[in-house]
A and B are shown apart, each in its own frame.
Chain A
Amino acid sequence: DTGVSQNPRHKITKRGQNVTFRCDPISEHNRLYWYRQTLGQGPEFLTYFQNEAQLEKSRLLSDRFSAERPKGSFSTLEIQRTEQGDSAMYLCASTPVGTRATGELFFGEGSRLTVL
């Protein structure tokens, strides 16, 4: 399967714990995005990378959240001191070089976080 891969698919944690999600984009895609989706809502932009550079962070991304893409390939999203409000689906997406518009994103299956 050469699509965007995310793991773990599901994570249940206690409030206050740290969690980390991994995303492996489609190879050759130089742009990688993280989105968050809560129940009954559409995905919301969190942050994006072009190669290894993190170019933008949404104001939704509090300082408890950190994302990295150290070699311009896979990316990790870490949430420290989780809160119940962090419960959501975390979606990763990638786009190839020269995408016509900001929008033709290839999404992974998501990592669902439940904070107890």
Chain B
Amino acid sequence: GQQLNQSPQSMFIQEGEDVSMNCTSSSIFNTWLWYKQDPGEGPVLLIALYKAGELTSNGRLTAQFGITRKDSFLNISASIPSDVGIYFCAGPAYSGAGSYQLTFGKGTKLSVIP
């Protein structure tokens, strides 16, 4: 099946620094989504991208849909302690049973040092 590879797996940064993470796939995706998951909680949608080359912002977060449609990037500017969590990329992948269902990467765990 289609797999999403996220890097880095984890990162430690100082408060105030910018953060960049990415997600790649061997297959083309028509939609890329970025979710954040806090400990003990469910994922929350941050940004959705629908068009190759699209660049979308949500506050300090900016995400891009790669022009090859096989990758996406998420940047966080001026990190703050509440940015701590796991960031997942996701996209609709063929389920093998006639529909497309959301498939997730393994996540990038972000730690922010005050």
Chain A positions near chain B (C-beta within 8 angstroms): 4, 33, 40-45, 48, 55-59, 91, 93, 100-110, 112
Given the complex of chains A and B, what is the CA–CA distance between A99 and B23 in angstroms?
24
Residues from chain B with Cβ under 8 Å of A91 in the complex: 42-43
Interface check B63, CB cutoff 8 A: no
- Contact between B42 and A103, CB atoms less than 8 A apart: no
Given the complex of chains A and B, what is the CA–CA distance between A42 and B37 in angstroms?
10
Given the complex of chains A and B, what is the CA–CA distance between A33 and B95 in angstroms?
14
Q: What DSSP secondary structure best describes chain A's contact surface?
A: loop
Given the complex of chains A and B, what is the CA–CA distance between A93 and B104 in angstroms?
14
The number of chain B residues with a CB under 8 A from chain A is 29
Q: Which 8 A-B pairs have the closest CB atoms?
A: A42-B104, A107-B42, A45-B101, A102-B92, A101-B31, A103-B33, A42-B88, A103-B102
Q: Between A and B, how many residue pairs show CB distances below 8 Å?
A: 78
- Contact between B101 and A56, CB atoms less than 8 A apart: yes
* 1/0 contact string of B80-92 vs chain A (CB within 8 Å): 0000000010111
Given the complex of chains A and B, what is the CA–CA distance between A15 and B5 in angstroms?
33
Q: Apart from A42-B104, A56-B98, what are 15 other A-B pairs with CB-CB below 8 Å?
A: A42-B4, A43-B88, A45-B102, A45-B103, A56-B97, A56-B101, A101-B30, A101-B48, A101-B50, A102-B92, A103-B33, A103-B92, A105-B43, A105-B45, A109-B40
